[in-house]
Structure 1
Amino acid sequence: MCQNQKFWGGRYNPIIPVNNGEIPDNYLEYIKYSDPDFVFYSEGTNLTKVESFLNPKKYYKIEKFGTPKFEGLDCTYLLEHSTDDALLCESGYLYKSNLKDNLQFYELNFLFQSYFFDKHELLHRYKKITINHDNLKDINKIIALESLIYKSILSKRDVYTNIFKTSELIDQNLELVIADENEQFNDLLYYWNRQMYLEKHNYCLNQIYITVQQLERLSNDRDFHLLLSSLSKSKDIKVHSETLNNSRLQEIININLLNDKKMVNFFIKEQGKFPFKIDDIQYYKHMDEKVYTKQVLIENQGLLNLPKPSFAASKNLSQEKWAVDIIIEDVNEQENRRNKIKLPFGTFIFD
C-alpha cells in the first residue's frame, strides 16, 4: 500500500484478495469496473474469470519472494510551489526511537518516510518539516497545526479515474478504520479499496487506519486527539471495522476515544457487506484542472510539439512516465486522413 502511494494515482490501484488461487466472485465486478491497464498477480492465481472481460496492456507475475516493480510518476512531482504547504518527512532513524511501535500508523496514513533532499532536485527546493529526535514528542501537534502535505494525498491528486456509484449510503465524514494487529487482512482491504467509492478530494484524507494496539498507545496523548480533530472537517468521525463487532468497537471507543481529551464525536453506522454493489461508474473529470494547448499545422509536413505538464520542467524525470491526450481534428475533412498522420510506434489511437 505504501508502495502504491509513492506514485501519481497509486491510491486508486485496487488490491484484490485471492483465496487458494481463486479470486472471490464478489470482487469480479469490482475488477471489471476498475478497468486496469496493468495487472499484477501472485503465483498460482487463476486468471480465467478476469481474462474473459479484462483487456489490460500487460499482466505481470509477482514472484513468490519478489516485490512488484511498479512504474509511474513519483507523486512528489505534484507538489505545488505556489502554496505554503510543507512536505512532512522524517530523519530516517525513527525506527530506533520511541515512535517505532507506532511508526506504521504514520507510514500508512501519511506516507511518512525519509527523503534524501540533496539527491532530489525538486525536494531540495521545497519547504519541509522533518520529524527527528528533537521534535518527536510533538509529532501529532505538528501534523495537526502545521500547513502540511503528505504523499498519501499527492498519490490521489489530479487523477482522472472511475469512481464507483452505489446505492449503499456511504458516509462522507472522516472514517477511522480499527483492526486488531493480529487480524488485519480484511480491514486493510476495506481501508484501501473503499477509496474507489469516494468522490475525489485533492487536499484531505477520507480515512485513517489504526490498530487497537496503536490506538491504546496514542490515545494518551492529547495532541493525538487534536490530530483527529484537525483531519475531521465536520467534527464527526465514523468508526468502522470489518473484523471487530459493534459491541467491541463501542468498548474501544469508550475507553480510548471518549475520554477527557476528546475533541470530536465518534459514531458507528451499519453498512452493507464490502465490496459494495456497483450501480454505475462516474469518470471523474475536473475541467478547470486540465491545461489545454492548441496547435495548428498549416503544412502536410508540419510537426506536432508534444505539450509537457508543469512537473516535466525538472531535469530528474528521465525515469518517470506519464501519458498525454492528443485530439487531432482535420478541418478540411479529407478522406483517409489517418493514413496522412504519422505517429510514433506504439501510439494508442481512438477514432
Structure 2
Amino acid sequence: MSIRDPFLTDPNSISTACAEGMACVYPELVQTLPGSFNGRTVLRRPADPDRVNIIAVAGGAGNPFSQSFAFSPDLADIAINGSLYAAPSAYDCFEAAKYVNSSKGYLMLFNNFMGDVLNCDMAIELMALEGLQAKMCPFHDDCLSTHRDEDRRDRTGLIGVLFGVKAASACAKTGASLEEVAALAEYINDRTSSVLITMDFENEILHFGEGISGEPPALSFKNEFSIESCAKHAYDILIEDLKPRSEERIHVLINRTSAGKFEDVYSLAKSIHDYAEHRIPISRMSAGYFMHTTRSYGLSVTIFCSDDRTEPYLQKRCFTDAFIF
C-alpha cells in the first residue's frame, strides 16, 4: 500500500464509510445527511435552524478528524469531508445547507486551498438560488507557506481554523447575525499563525514550513535536534509573525502529525510554556491530534492572539470523540 493510500477501507468510499460509522456508533450525537449524493456529511444532533450554522469544510479524507468537529455542541453544526485527498464538492455543502434550512444563514470555514475556495464559492451561489444566505472564511494561518513580504491572505491554511470554528460557533449561539459571525472569524483568521515542524531523524535535522503536499521546507536547522529547539524556533517564528499587542493573550495549539508521537506533543507543550514564561507568557494551551497535516513525523504549533473581543468565545473546553480543545 502506498504512503498516499494508508487505509484498509476502500479509498473510493472511505469518507462515506467514516460518516456512516460515526452515526452508527453515536446516533444520539450525530447523523448522516438523508438521501445525500455522496454520504460524506455529518450533522450534529439536534439541528438548530434558528441561528447561524457553522459548516466545517475539510479537505480530503486524509483529514479524518474534521468530521469529529460535529461531535461537540461547541464546534461545527455540519462537518463535510471530500473524497480521498480531494476537497468536498459544492453540492455536498449545498445539500447540507438545504436540509438544515437555517433562516439565519451559514458560515463555511476551511483551509485556504484553491479547490476548497472554488467549491465553497460555488456552494454559496447554489444556496443563493434557494434563498439561503452564506459566507465563507478561508483560513490562511500557515506562516511559512509564502514569503514574509507577501500578502498573508495568499498563505495556505494549517490548523488555525479550529480557533475560527470554536469562536464562530459560540458567537452564533448568542443570536449574532451572519455578518457578525463572519467578521469575528475573519478577525481571528488575521491574528492566527501556524508552523509545521518535521523531523529528519537520520540526519538529525529540524525542518520548518514543509508543505502538506510535499513542498520543501522554508527553514532547516542542523545540530539543534531537540524538543527544546522545536519550541524555541516555533515560538520565535510565530511571535515575530504576529507581533502580539500588549492587550492580547497568547493561545497555543499543538498538533501532531499522523506519524508523530503522543509523548512529543506534551513535551513540546511544556517546552514552549517554559520558553515563553520570560518572554510573552502563554495564556491557554491545547495539545493532541486534531487534524491530519502530513504523513511525515512532525508537530505543528499555532498561536492565536486573543483579546477582549474574542476571549469570551474561547473559554469553554470542547470535547469530541478525538480531542479536547
TM bin (shorter chain): under 0.3
The structure with the largest alpha-carbon Rg is 1
Give 1 or 2: higher strand fraction.
2
Structure 2-normalised TM-score? 0.28
